[in-house]
Amino acid sequence: MIIRFDSISVVFVIKAEKASTGQLQREFKIGYNQASKLLAQLESIGVIGPEDGSKPRKVLINHEQLKAISITSMEYPQDADPLLPEAVELLIFKKDDYALVSSFDLRRNFKIDDGHAELLLEQMVALGILKENYSGSSFYRKAINCVQFKTKKLEFDETYYKRLHTRELGVQKIKQQIEDYEKMFSELTEIKPDINMDLISIKGAQKKLLLEKQSAFLMPDYKNSTVYKDSEKNIKNCNFIVIDVETTGLDQDIHEIIEFAAVRFVDFKPAEYMATLIKPSRKIPKRITEINGIDDDMVMTAPQIYLVAKSFTDFLNKENTIIAHNLSFDLRFLFANKIDLFDHKPKRKFFDTLAISRNRLEGKVHNNKLGTLLYHFDIYRPTAHRALDDCIATGFLFEKLLKLNLD
């Protein structure tokens, strides 16, 4: 049985300022014998004191001392990135002992680009400090066997340089994708939403009525209607509009839209778009800002949803076919805010790339999140969880799914 002896267990006892078998059993879900062996290991490297009849054991070093004896004693390879020691210190000995790390952590802390962050992660994997662990729609690495309390010369594993060459080819490909994306975006026509000036001066009870949401229970059931089909035959042409909303939560009756985007595709190519931040009535929760990067300062001067609802509706009425990823979520929030996509003639066609991918990619992807599908089809997206970028990516995904059905 492998004993859990890594940065997580060491940092845990240092934070707790004590160590006992019961404490380790509860924290790491291990048996008594394993906990006893782990205590013995921690004692052997000088982290905790010897057993003296009292429980729990005394911790002998603090967080700063731990970093000093473990990180500075490491001898890194000659061609290691200059930031590598700092990256190891930051990610392996974080006080919150968060074991899963991604390039986002490095980009945020060192103000570096994604390629540089990925190189640092790749080097830590090659040194055996991290291991790859694919989770959700992002690559994370998990800390393993990363506390070494003796001077150690670190060397990259034998496959590192081969992987590095592959990564460099990937970077070149991404650079080309970025250039192509920027060119495509520069050719898009932006349609700015018009603010309904007639509603600006409305106050009191009338304004409250405008802000009052309508129940999503009243929304037509698009899934059971004849317009919702998982077949490219239901599209008479290749023109459609992709929609996406960013919100303060998952419940349309409680939470609010903070960003809306719609992109019109003509012959499967984005032609024009409407996108805007939306000012909610309450502060944006921190957990939401951590997901999409939208904070209170960004929406301070943005319009409220009722002021631009008509403009949104007019734009959406340019096409009869509506696409989204997890379509019901967007429809519910729009309907609750009185943007009714069902009040349209001829009757609309709705397509959900989430539902289509579940049907056509069964067993080929580990989940059907947008990020996972974009990775599967190699579709570039500059920023995740921002409405406009998600719309453009979803439009390209829709085309890929249709072509997949034809192959």
Q: Name the token pair of 169.
A: 């080819």
pLDDT at 77: 78
Tens-digit pLDDT profile for residues 175-207 = 788 889 899 999 999 999 988 766 766 666 666
What average pLDDT does range 208-234 have in this prediction?
58
The CA distance from 243 to 261, in Å, is: 6
CATH: 3.30.230.30, 3.30.160.270, 1.10.10.10, 3.40.50.620. Which one for 7-153?
Answer: 1.10.10.10
> 111 or 371: which carries more pLDDT confidence?
371
Say what the pLDDT of residue 261 is.
Answer: 97
Indicate the domain borders of the chain.
7-153, 189-406
Give the pLDDT score at 210. Answer: 64
What is the per-residue pLDDT for 101?
67
DSSP H or E segment with residue 284: none
Q: Given a cut of 90, is residue 266 above it in pLDDT?
A: yes
Angle, in degrees to the nearest 10, between helices 387-406 and 370-377:
50
| Same fold across 7-153 and 189-406 | no
Q: Choose between 223 and 192: higher pLDDT.
A: 192
Least confident of 77-81, 296-300, 358-362: 77-81
Question: Global pTM?
Answer: 0.62
In the predicted structure, residue 332 carries a pLDDT above the cut 50: yes
Q: Region 242-270: what's the mean pLDDT?
A: 94
- Mean pLDDT along residues 307-333: 92
More confident residue, 83 or 8: 83
| Residue-averaged pLDDT of the chain | 76
Mean pLDDT to the nearest integer, 320-327 = 92
**Assigned superfamily of 189-406:** Ribonuclease H-like superfamily/Ribonuclease H (3.30.420.10)
Residue 236's pLDDT band (cuts 50, 70, 90): low
- Residue 247 banded pLDDT, cuts 50, 70, 90: very high
Residue 169, amino acid: L
| Long-range CB contact pairs, 98-102, < 8 A, 24+ | 99/7, 99/8, 99/142, 99/143, 100/133, 100/135, 100/140, 100/141, 100/142, 101/130, 101/140, 101/141, 101/142, 101/143, 102/138, 102/139, 102/140, 102/141
Looking at residue 11, its pLDDT comes to 60
What pLDDT, on a 0 to 100 scale, did the predictor assign at position 72?
45
